[in-house]
């Protein structure tokens, strides 16, 4: 286990909580989940990027790595749908089993993608 992995999990958990709170708050305010999800993406992507840059990977933030990070995180939704399709429809797994498997894979994907985009940014660059 690298030193960044436990820090990554802390940030990932905070992003998951922020996402759920944004959707729940939006619902309570009468906002459909689709626009609430867009707001959540913006908030969580910025939150996650800043925390990963400073806390998880201890690198200098840059516009370029922010854009790469946001692009990598945008891949979560279709990847999640694709994983559920493979597990449930192609392999016949129950949603009870498929959902945690997809979440675990997404956590691993996000760690690898986050580490890659953070480490590609030149130190001290914006």
What are the structural domain ranges in the chain? 4-120
Read off the pTM.
Answer: 0.68
pLDDT for residue 18: 86
What tokens appear for 22 in the block?
Answer: 């944004």
CA distance 61 to 67: 11
Per-residue pLDDT of the chain (126 residues; tens, 9 = 90+): 678 789 988 998 898 888 778 878 888 899 888 788 889 889 989 999 999 999 998 999 999 999 999 998 888 888 878 888 999 999 999 787 887 787 788 888 888 887 787 776 565 555
**123 Cβ contact partners less than 8 Å away, ≥ 6 residues apart:** 59, 60
Tokens 């990598």 label which residue? 72
pLDDT for residue 109: 86
pLDDT for residue 124: 56
DSSP string, 52-81: IIIIIS-----HHHHHHHHHHHHTHHHHHH
What tokens appear for 120 in the block?
Answer: 């590609």
* Per-residue buried b or exposed e for 88-105, using 16+ beta carbons within 10 Å of the residue's own CB: beeeebeeeebbeebeee
């Amino acid at each position: 286990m690298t030193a960044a992995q436990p820090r990554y999990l802390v940030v990932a958990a905070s992003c998951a909580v922020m996402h759920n709170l944004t959707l729940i708050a939006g619902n309570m305010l009468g906002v459909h989940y689709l626009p609430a999800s867009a707001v959540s993406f913006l908030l969580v992507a910025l939150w996650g990027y800043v925390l990963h840059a400073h806390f998880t990977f201890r690198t200098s933030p840059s516009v370029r790595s922010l854009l790469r990070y946001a692009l990598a995180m945008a891949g979560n939704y279709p990847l999640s749908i694709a994983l559920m399709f493979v597990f449930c429809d192609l392999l016949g797994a129950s949603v009870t089993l498929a959902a945690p498997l997809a979440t675990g894979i997404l956590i691993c994907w996000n760690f690898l993608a986050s580490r890659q985009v953070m480490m590609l940014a030149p130190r001290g660059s914006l």
